[in-house]
């Protein structure tokens, strides 16, 4: 009988350990998705499942996912899923595994993100030394993440699984090819645990009688689990037995809910949940994987008393159009992805704020995003400004000095100010965007304008009513700075090999830029910074058409037209990025005083066209 019991126990144990849930096997729509590249020249291309190129060994399935890391890709280049068909549920599972195929030794990092249970983003790596055959790689999700906040993923549910092949290295000389398949979660640990709690009340000044633990484990009872302070040192302790494994929420409360902890949402130990009616509850989060003794928390803090600092960050947005999803703090290795840490503007004054609690001595880069874009295209651009660190993706460096006391940061989105008075605002103005598609080689069904001005959506198609190949859309925009691109047939984007005169580099994303101050018209040739306002086909360059005095200007300059060239003359002024800022037409004029007092410092080009003659002159505003 004893042997029978042992055998049954072993079978039960083996069944629990081997129990698996398939997340992705790419065989059909129920267990498949596509992956979008980022951090390389392949961004934003999408990879579809392909036929298994090596149906042997542990993986003879029909379909797998291919991944390419191009020559020169960023060290953090990878791919994210366009939605997982099945969430990565780690409420009881203790590992995640997948099959991989490497051509040469390397590593694979996986990142779990977008937790529906408020879990931390979690990333770790595993080395792959067996090559040119399928091998299984497994990750212990009870281990801490290798990035801040250095917490395990166990007990949470995730909707994102990002892959980084050869994380931390950049291919040199050749592209690298990989395959992955059969993503599963499995293994089971204990079913419950005894949890010991401790809270330091020495910094709490209000009168109370007893401290309690209230949470999901006791149906938020206000008096079911009292703590004790038998030695009178101000630290209250107690244990709750048989707490189910997985995610739990709790708070320290006083005298049957006469008082309770209050959190802002910017703490590292909390989870914010919406009850479906717009009410947000912010509680401590707890992941139970067995018996555990928790740290001694200071009441209303994620740290021991005296070890937490409060960082209040305010960012002004009066000069931009805020995405409907709002403003977020992100990046820096501490603040996750766009969408993880929302900022709020409860009074609607255009200043978005977040209150963060961190351990004393905390330091980190950070950035702001306008919206919750998974590809970071909505990240602010502060490249070249003094608050940006070019060696860390041009994230802000304002928190690099260890924070030893409570502090406040005031600034503006995409600016390095020390206040939230960002200018801009006022009334929207009409901006006409045009793109000359005559040089586009393939069929055109639709052309779109996509950028921070519309959340990179398809909401603004362009039209070519007169059929001249120049597509146009008019947007009503608030004054401010925007980046954008033209897009054809929804999935073909302009691609700029380097930062040009009309573009800026947003951490590897090179986009067009425009600063809106008043009603204006912007027109470029597709995939070029060449303005399409002045074509050169069938035109003759005649430098005698006009002259400019002076060329180094302050308030004005004189444009003298050649009297011997009769007929109507059109004058256009462009700034250094090719934006048309002024246009005038003259009949039989001999001179025109061009006012430049409102021009900003920089180079400007003056074009004059008369019939088939054209000429260009340069002026410099001091």
pLDDT digits (tens, 9 = 90+) for 58-76: 999 999 999 999 998 988 8
- CATH homologous superfamily, domain 540-621: SoxY domain (2.60.40.2470)
Q: Helix (H) and strand (E) counts for the chain?
A: 1, 47
431 beta partners = 475, 520
Q: What angle do CA 80, 353, 200 make, to 5 degrees?
A: 95
In SS3 terms, 243-298 reads as: EECEEEEEEEEECCCCEECCCCCCCCCEEEEECCCCCEEEEEEEEECCCEEEEEEE
Q: Pseudo-torsion of CA 65, 69, 73, 74, nearest 10°?
A: 60
**What's the rounded Cα separation, in Å, for the pair 368 and 325?**
13
- CATH homologous superfamily, domain 2-188: Galactose-binding lectin (2.60.120.430)
Helix (H, G, I), strand (E, B) or coil at 547: strand
Give the pairing type, strands 569-575 and 602-610. antiparallel
* Residues 222-242: tens digit of each pLDDT: 999 999 999 999 999 999 999
pLDDT at residue 18 in the model: 44
CATH topology of domain 310-412: Immunoglobulin-like (2.60.40)
pLDDT at residue 15 in the model: 37
pLDDT at residue 278 in the model: 67
pLDDT at residue 6 in the model: 36
**505: which 2 tokens?**
């580099």
pLDDT interval class at 425 (50, 70, 90): low
Q: Is the pLDDT of residue 13 over 70?
A: no
Q: Determine contact, residues 266/300, Cβ cutoff 8 Å.
A: no
Calculate mean pLDDT across residues 432-455: 90
pLDDT at residue 351 in the model: 95
Number of alpha carbons in the 13 Å side-chain half-sphere of residue 6:
3
Q: Determine contact, residues 134/57, Cβ cutoff 8 Å.
A: yes
Give me the residue spans of the domains in the chain: 2-188, 192-298, 310-412, 429-525, 540-621
Number of alpha carbons in the 13 Å side-chain half-sphere of residue 291:
3
Alpha-carbon distance values, 339 to 115, 331, 365, 452 (Å): 11, 11, 17, 15
Place of tokens 């390095």: 416
**What's the rounded Cα separation, in Å, for the pair 305 and 315?**
29
Q: Is the pLDDT of residue 171 over 80?
A: yes
DSSP string, 105-150: SEEEEEEEEEETT-PPPEEEEEEE---SSEEEEEEETTSPPSSTT-
Question: Within a 10 A sphere around the Cβ of 376, how many other Cβ atoms?
Answer: 20
CATH topology of domain 429-525: Immunoglobulin-like (2.60.40)
Q: Is the pLDDT of residue 17 over 60?
A: no
Pick from 304, 292, 281: nearest CA to 199: 304
**What's the rounded Cα separation, in Å, for the pair 401 and 360?**
11
pLDDT at residue 308 in the model: 94
Tell which phi-psi region holds residue 348, choosing left (phi > 0), alpha (psi between -120 and 50) or beta: left
**What's the rounded Cα separation, in Å, for the pair 422 and 398?**
18
- Say if residue 149 is preceded by a cis peptide, omega within 30 of 0: yes
Highest mean pLDDT among 225-229, 368-372, 390-394, 537-541: 225-229
Longest dimension (CA), the chain: 117
**What's the rounded Cα separation, in Å, for the pair 189 and 462?**
57
Place of tokens 């080689």: 441
Percent of the chain, pLDDT > 90?
Answer: 49
Alpha-carbon distance values, 452 to 356, 412, 447, 484, 518 (Å): 27, 16, 17, 6, 18
46 beta partners = 36
Calculate mean pLDDT across residues 153-171: 92
* Residues 391-414: tens digit of each pLDDT: 888 899 999 999 999 999 999 998
pLDDT interval class at 12 (50, 70, 90): very low
Place of tokens 């501490």: 334
The reply to whether 540-621 shares the fold of 192-298 is yes
| Statement: 192-298 belongs to CATH 2.60.40.10 | yes
Number of alpha carbons in the 13 Å side-chain half-sphere of residue 317:
24
Mean pLDDT of the chain: 87
Number of alpha carbons in the 13 Å side-chain half-sphere of residue 505:
13
**What's the rounded Cα separation, in Å, for the pair 168 and 478?**
40
Q: Determine contact, residues 380/390, Cβ cutoff 8 Å.
A: no
Alpha helices in 408-486, H assignment, sequence order: none
pLDDT interval class at 539 (50, 70, 90): low
Higher-confidence residue of 492 and 12: namely: 492
For 8-22, 521-535, 553-567, which range has the lowest pLDDT when averaged over its residues?
8-22
- Global pTM reads 0.56
**What's the rounded Cα separation, in Å, for the pair 101 and 37?**
18
Please classify residue 441 by burial: count the beta carbons closer than 10 Å to its beta carbon, then call 0-12 exposed, 13-18 middle and 19+ buried: exposed
Sign of CA dihedral 195, 196, 202, 205: positive
Q: What angle do CA 369, 371, 376 make, to 5 degrees?
A: 55
**What's the rounded Cα separation, in Å, for the pair 371 and 565?**
54
**558: which 2 tokens?**
């004189």
**Polymer length in residues for the chain:** 622
Q: Is the pLDDT of residue 429 over 80?
A: yes
């Amino acid at each position: 009988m004893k042997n029978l019991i042992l055998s049954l126990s072993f079978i039960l144990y083996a069944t629990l350990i081997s129990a698996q849930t398939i997340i992705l096997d790419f065989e059909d729509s129920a267990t498949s998705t596509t992956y979008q590249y980022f951090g390389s020249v392949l961004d934003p291309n999408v990879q579809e499942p392909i036929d298994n190129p090596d149906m042997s060994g542990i993986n003879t399935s029909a379909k797998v996912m291919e991944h390419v890391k191009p020559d020169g890709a960023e060290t953090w280049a990878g791919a994210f899923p366009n939605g997982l068909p099945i969430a990565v549920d780690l409420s009881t599972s203790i590992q995640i595994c997948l099959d991989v195929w490497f051509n040469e030794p390397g590593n694979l990092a996986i990142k779990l993100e977008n937790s529906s249970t408020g879990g931390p983003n979690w990333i770790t790596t595993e080395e792959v030394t067996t090559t040119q055959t399928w091998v299984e790689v497994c990750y212990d999700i009870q281990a801490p993440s290798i990035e801040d906040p250095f917490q395990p993923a166990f007990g949470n549910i995730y909707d994102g699984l990002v892959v980084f092949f050869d994380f931390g290295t950049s291919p040199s000389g050749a592209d690298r090819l990989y395959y992955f398949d059969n993503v599963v979660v499995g293994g089971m640990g204990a079913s419950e645990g005894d949890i010991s709690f401790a809270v330091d009340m020495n910094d709490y000044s209000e009168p109370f009688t007893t401290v309690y633990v209230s949470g999901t484990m006791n149906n938020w009872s206000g008096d079911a689990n009292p703590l004790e302070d038998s030695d009178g040192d101000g630290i209250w302790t107690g244990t709750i037995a048989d707490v189910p494994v997985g995610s739990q929420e709790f708070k320290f409360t006083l005298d049957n809910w006469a008082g309770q902890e209050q959190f802002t949402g910017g703490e590292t130990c909390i989870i914010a949940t919406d009850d479906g009616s717009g009410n947000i509850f912010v509680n401590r989060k707890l992941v139970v994987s067995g018996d555990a003794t928790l740290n001694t928390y200071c009441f209303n803090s994620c740290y021991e008393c005296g070890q937490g600092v409060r960082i209040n960050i305010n960012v002004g947005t009066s000069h931009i159009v805020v995405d409907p999803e709002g403003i977020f703090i992100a990046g820096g290795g501490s603040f996750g992805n766009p969408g993880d840490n929302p900022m709020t503007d409860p009074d609607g004054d255009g200043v978005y704020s977040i209150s963060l609690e961190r351990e004393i001595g905390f330091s980190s880069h950070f950035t702001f995003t306008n919206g919750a874009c998974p590809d970071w295209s909505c990240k602010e651009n502060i490249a070249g400004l003094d608050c940006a660190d070019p060696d860390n993706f041009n994230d802000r460096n304002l928190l690099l000095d260890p924070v030893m006391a409570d502090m406040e940061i005031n600034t503006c989105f995409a600016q390095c100010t020390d206040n939230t008075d960002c200018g801009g605002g006022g009334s929207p103005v009409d901006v006409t965007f045009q793109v000359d598609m005559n040089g586009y080689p393939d069929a055109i069904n639709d052309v779109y304008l996509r950028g921070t001005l519309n959340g990179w959506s398809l909401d603004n198609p362009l039209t070519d009513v007169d059929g001249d190949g120049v597509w146009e859309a008019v947007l009503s925009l608030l004054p401010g700075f925007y980046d954008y691109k033209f897009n054809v047939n929804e999935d073909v984007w302009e691609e700029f090999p380097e930062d040009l005169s009309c573009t800026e580099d947003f951490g590897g994303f090179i986009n067009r830029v425009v600063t809106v101050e008043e009603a204006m018209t912007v027109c470029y040739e597709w995939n070029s910074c060449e303005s399409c306002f002045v074509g050169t086909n069938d035109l003759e360059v005649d430098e005698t058409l006009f002259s400019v005095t002076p060329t180094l200007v302050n308030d004005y300059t004189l444009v003298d037209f050649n009297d011997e060239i009769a007929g109507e003359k059109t004058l256009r002024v462009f700034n250094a990025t090719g934006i048309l800022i002024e246009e005038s037409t003259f009949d039989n004029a001999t001179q025109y005083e061009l006012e430049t007092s409102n021009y900003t410092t920089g180079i400007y080009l003056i074009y004059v066209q008369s019939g088939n003659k054209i000429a260009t002159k340069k002026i410099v505003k001091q």
